[in-house]
Chain A
């Protein structure tokens, strides 16, 4: 390697740092540092004799034990709801992605239109849509009326203010996060592999099970993560579609600890517990099913 070449290489290396530096500085200041500040805050203790919301630095580990004792039920419920939501979104989202990416391959205009329909609801406001579900599923709405007329629902039952409504709302809201990564993966799938499957005596269902599905696992992995993580921390669906008895999720509690109780250390402790729990679950999941293609 000549000196000129070597200089070229080292300059390129330094240039690389300039590319990533601004973005990483931003993430350090407005993501990494806040997480550390939150970790510190979660150990703060009330200022003796101080008013509501007055805390001072301390190492108050009891904040953690207290919140865990108080709120382990909503915490577990959040993960249970998120898990059901993820499975439901996968069962609904995969066929959508398959329809658009594989069945409609080559029909670019139709593919484009259906993709817009998946993405565009984002723009019609998450909360507006969740509120719409609340009205559609309300006791005097069409769905309940029809179900009751067909005797599929007992007269006194509700759809809103139930756990089912919360999970259905989350499934609805996070469906694009499941569908898009699977679509992106299936779109890249080599159609000749599907042809090779059918050439080698695999029926369409067998080809799907033995070829398409295993090859789309990176997309499924990304989709399930992008659904599970926000679902576990969500509180909009629970507060709009749930009740305040048996659908309370951990997000609602973090929010109310912050804004109603102004108990920042406990709120921070809960948020930190949620973050760590999700990271552990995600890491175990990625280790079990993951590939290097995730990032």
Chain B
């Protein structure tokens, strides 16, 4: 009676293999962050905690890392603010030029980084701007905005406009409605957009490479170091950022889970009963 059902095992097995594929290099990076120093970090020389005790041991690595954090945080804040405003504006208001506005949001995402970086570089060169941290930040803001718009806009679209009207009905002014109703409801989407934006900025190499001049960032440091051997301290920083990202999201998950449980205890069960 019972026929062979491939979907049963196929999804978990393929999904599991895919996760392994995603994580193999991370495991490698993590393991080799404990490797004893040598000229290169290609072969295993023995276990040590020295790299974790002193992640700034290798020249430049911490300078590059701090630069990347500064650039990432600055461009994330600006891109998130600008992108969120665009998302609300496009979704909540009618425009005559909304068609071209959509294209202006979509085009940066449809432009490969190498083109984006090259275009900005030609502009900076033609204007005679000195390349450095400010040009990197401007470039990062420009390519992060669209991703913020798309992420936040989905959240705005799922908001009931009647909530805004209800707030207006209850004597809230425009600014009050924005800060007391719209913004708190959009917060999960905005946080997700900010996280995405930081990840894109922190990990960007191509656009940065075009517009950084002599300034160094963490990805650029590794790219340059790759030729002569990446120091294990870079593995420490990579592993640390990976673990930090997991910790942040796990804590956020637990907080929202707790909140939901407190608000409606036992929803897990009720929801599944589906009555």
Question: A residues within 8 Å of B by Cβ?
Answer: 12-13, 15-20, 22-24, 26-28, 30-35, 37-38, 41, 92-93, 95-96, 98-100, 103, 106, 108-109, 112-133, 135-136, 138, 172, 175, 184, 203-205, 208, 225-226, 229-230, 232-236, 240, 250-251, 254-255, 258, 264, 267-268, 271-272, 274-275, 278-279, 282, 294-295
Contacts and interface: CB of A to CB of B under 8 A. Distances in A.
B34 interface: no
Contacts of A114: 19
Main secondary structure of the interface of A (DSSP, over half): helix
A22 B86 CA distance: 8
Among A113, A117, A123, A205, max chain B CB count under 10 A is at: A123
Given A112-B249, A120-B242, A19 B93 contact: yes
A99 B15 contact: yes
A268 B249 contact: no
9 contacts: A18-B89, A27-B146, A30-B139, A38-B118, A119-B199, A126-B205, A127-B219, A295-B102, A295-B150
A266 to B, nearest CB: 11
Given A17-B89, A95-B14, A31 B108 contact: yes
A171 B108 CA distance: 22
Given A127-B219, A172-B21, A120 B246 contact: yes
Question: Interface extent on B, as a size class?
Answer: 35 or more
10 cross-chain pairs, A with B, having the tightest CB-CB distances, nearest first: A233-B112, A16-B93, A19-B89, A99-B15, A23-B82, A132-B25, A20-B89, A34-B119, A112-B253, A124-B242
B112 A34 contact: no
Main secondary structure of the interface of B (DSSP, over half): helix
Contacts of A26: 82, 141-142, 145
Contact of A129 (B29, B90, B107, B150): B29
A227 B105 CA distance: 18
A123 B242 contact: yes
B54 to A, nearest CB: 19
B120 to A, nearest CB: 5
A19 B83 CA distance: 10
B142 to A, nearest CB: 4
